[in-house]
Structure 1
């Protein structure tokens, strides 16, 4: 299978394909991609055309094919659907590839104008990514229920959706935060920094919906109930990009610089360490950065032995406690970017080939007034957090897990997460109200806080 000899006109070729096939530029990287495709069966004879015109979807399929083989599996791609029948030492499973791509009219991932980064928040990156990942996963699970589940080679086997994000220019900054929220509703760790700069983890926050636009919310936490029991797990790798290819390629005539962070898990230290290394000193495996996210309600559970004791993160959810669980191995690749150092003339010439367009933008998040939203999470003995916006105030209503009663706190600023509320409240620059009494239900506590706010506004 010849992926790189052009079979479509240049004006129809994807920008990544144009970049890679620049003469004398990416020969070592091309050899890596060719090795990934070794043994891959082009079932519908469209793979080469799609690689040259769409790129990302085929790139992700080839990566998965090579990664499964590296994990010691045999991969059958001869069936028309789904994508892979994977045979491992611990049982067979079905793997279906999917990517999260940009919505129509939105800026594609290849159009990276780094001047935009200053005005792009991580919060908006995660929100857009969560929306697109949820869409891709739900689309594949519906396809499974409607078609795949009826196929003889699929029945009674674990079904795994393998999804990668390519939905926006700075998708690589999301790490695994968006996919964890989509599957488990987990939003973020809550922490506090003392006067000496020491950081202490004090709790966590969940959020089971993502706003697409004002008045329209998408429910997430797909693996926190049995609605998707036919999906056994999700495989995700935000590090499976062209930087992965460069990390695996042999040295070339131009230098490539890798920067990022890996986890540090030992008896003496837990955290991360940063690296900045040049090829060929920098080393990376094909499975580096891979996440396997388990559905605890799966009707056909996936055997995790294939992924244990590897450079792979394992995520799960405990239905009894409602807790998100994760295992991040030592030296796990948390984040990585790379930079190739080529001539300025070459880069300028390539940039001229990109046509500037007016793209759509994700609308700012606006909550409906007086809508009490469940965030969950724990902060010491305080749990079951809910938040609402009321007359310009942010209200949190929480359960005291010891006494099993509810109280509330509010600040005069609109916040959109528990950590944002916590940060703003700690500054002491906003008017705040602490409800000095407790109630048997959250609704009673919320009504009491609204009354306090009305009284404050009347003074």
Structure 2
């Protein structure tokens, strides 16, 4: 038998494989130091420092009956990091040497298989077909398979919808699930509505996912040669009325559900998480329309004689389009005091999953990804974002939180605490102005160009 090699494991790859098994409680009492695996990734190893006792812990992970990486062997109270490392490496060699590839946990929870078709090919969503079949999306498919092994399908129809008409909504839901896990929040998946009940520091938050969906007369097309880009004048026009109405419709519909009256939601913050999938690349430019609609103001800027940026907030009363009229300022409408905040991201897409998969080392070396976009300029006198561009590699460090924003309701009955969501941007309405706190790198939008090299 060949000698079993133990290799260092990139933490990004460990997270892609096993982060869903990590208990949020671990962050209270430990610090992760190093990751290891055999060359076939049958067993993963983790070395921790116990921050309470200041000693070390070794943990081994293997796939259970449902193909999930879960801890199956733990050694605590080890005096030195070197000894913990030796225990982990020795354990990997021993278990792999036994020829085992499955490490049963006894709960027999089955993996949710997203990619075996349950929908006829003619009814499959185009993006599902591309994701499941094209080599360029292998990194995303691999990541999604790992995530779905842990996902709890409360409604029982996730797979059918993901493969057909509900692809965008279900992808957004899976993205949110993954972000909330990354934020190390505790999940309660006992209820089918709202979509998520999360908790930390004794605080509970209910989160309901919603999207701006496509109209039947604007289907996804396989024959669009290039992305659909709008010039600034078109975007400005759409921001005035069309997009606030598009955001307002699903947010109003969710308001009518009155989730705040449910026993498991009462007395806790309620958050709606919305994404825009109404057209190709629409989420690249639509976020400002959401901000304007939520707070009922738009901002204009100019520079004073000293070159300092001066921002003015102008009140918006209503939005009108094709005979339809809605009041602006969602957070100031009846019953919205029961909604604590709105979450939005322009990044909850296949491209996000593909980039995360690529930086974790999934997919062939012949798949090249180039990411181009705009991010926030923290210069207080900057009126425009900066451009960025990079090739996605295993050196990249994108997180699931990157690009997410939470817009806080100034009239909320139960405000949501920022400390539960420390990795994202937060926006508040103060004295007629929107005041934002953003991470060091906060992308507003990006495009990922996938290239497949051929011999």
TM-score, normalized by the shorter chain, greater than 0.5: yes
Q: 1:13 Cα shift?
A: 0.3
Aligned pair partner of 1:306 in 416, 420, 444: 420
Query: Residue 262 of structure 1 is aligned with which of 367, 371, 375?
Result: 375
**Cα gap change, 1:134/1:300 in structure 2, threshold over 3 Å: closer, same or farther?**
same
Q: Structure 1: which 5+ runs fail to align?
A: 345-459
**2:196 equivalent among 81, 84, 90:** 84
Alignment RMSD, CA only? 2.9
- Out of 98, 113, 137, the residue aligned to residue 26 of structure 1 is 137
1:138 aligns with one of 252, 262, 266: 252
Counterpart position of 1:122: 235
- The range that moved more, 159-168 or 323-332, is 323-332
Distance 1:330 1:69 in 2: 21
Distance 1:24 1:80 in 2: 34
Give the drift of 1:179.
1.4
CA contact (8 A) 1:101 1:165 kept: yes
In structure 2, the residue matched to 1:399 is none
CA distance in 1 between counterparts of 2:383 and 2:438 reads: 11
Q: What is aligned with 2:386?
A: 273
Q: Indicate conservation of the 8 Å contact 1:109/1:170, yes or no.
A: no
Q: Is the 8 A contact 2:341 2:416 kept in 1?
A: yes
Deviates more, 1:61-70 or 1:277-286: 277-286
**Residue 208 (structure 1) aligned with residue 317 (structure 2):** yes
2:446 alignment partner, SS class: strand
Paired residue secondary structure (1:256): strand
Partner of 1:95, secondary structure, is strand
**SS of the residue 2:265 aligns to:** coil
**Which residue, 305, 322, 327 being the options, matches 2:432?**
322
Match of 2:210 in 1: 98
Q: What do residues 37-81 of structure 1 show as CA deviations (whole Å, max 9, x unaligned)?
A: 342211232110000002111101111111111111022223122
Distance 1:31 1:284 in 2: 17
Partner Cα distance (2:221, 2:277) in 1: 6
Q: Does structure 2 retain, via aligned residues, the 8 Å contact 1:36–1:65?
A: no
Counterpart in the other structure of 2:331? 223
Unaligned runs of 5+ in 2: 1-111
2:407 equivalent to 1:293: yes
Corresponding residue of 1:171? 282
Flag the 1:297–1:269 CA change in 2: closer, same or farther, 3 A: closer
Q: Does 1:246 align with 2:360?
A: no
Q: Relative to 1, partners in 2 of residues 1:277 and 1:105: Cα closer, same or farther, differing over 3 Å?
A: same
Instruction: Determine the structure 2 residue equivalent to 1:56.
Output: 168
Does structure 1 retain, via aligned residues, the 8 Å contact 2:367–2:453?
Answer: no
Please name the residue that 1:237 is paired with: 345
**Residues 108/19 of structure 1: CA separation in 2 closer, same or farther (3 Å cut):** closer
Contact 2:405 2:427 in 1 (8 A): yes
TM superposition score normalised by structure 2: 0.67
CA contact (8 A) 1:107 1:169 kept: no
Residue 286 of structure 1 aligns to a residue whose secondary structure is: coil
Say if 1:225 and 1:110 are closer, same or farther in 2 by CA, change over 3 A: farther
Confirm or deny: 8 A CA contact 1:112 1:170 kept in the other structure.
no
Deviation at 1:113, TM superposition (A): 5.9
Cα distance, 1:133 vs structure 2: 1.2
CA offsets 1:410-448 (integer angstroms, 9 cap, x no match) = xxxxxxxxxxxxxxxxxxxxxxxxxxxxxxxxxxxxxxx
Q: Secondary structure at the match of 2:256?
A: helix
Q: Deviations over 1:318-370 (max 9, x none)?
A: 3xx332222223221222111111379xxxxxxxxxxxxxxxxxxxxxxxxxx
Q: What is the match of residue 120 of structure 2?
A: 9
Give TM-score scaled by structure 1 length: 0.66
**1:315 Cα offset (Å):** 1.0
Cross-structure match for 1:341: 451
SS in 1 for 2:199: strand
User: What CA distance in whole angstroms lies between the structure 2 residues aligned with 1:73 and 1:101?
Assistant: 28
Deviations 1:203-252 (A, max 9, x none): 34332322221x43221211146641111111111111122112201343
Instruction: Tell me the CA shift for residue 297 of structure 1.
Output: 1.1
* Count of residue pairs the alignment pairs up: 334
Q: 1:28 Cα deviation (Å)?
A: 1.5
User: What do the CA deviations read for 1:385-409 (whole angstroms, capped 9, x no partner)?
Assistant: xxxxxxxxxxxxxxxxxxxxxxxxx
**Does the CA contact (< 8 Å) of 2:255 and 2:336 recur in 1?**
yes
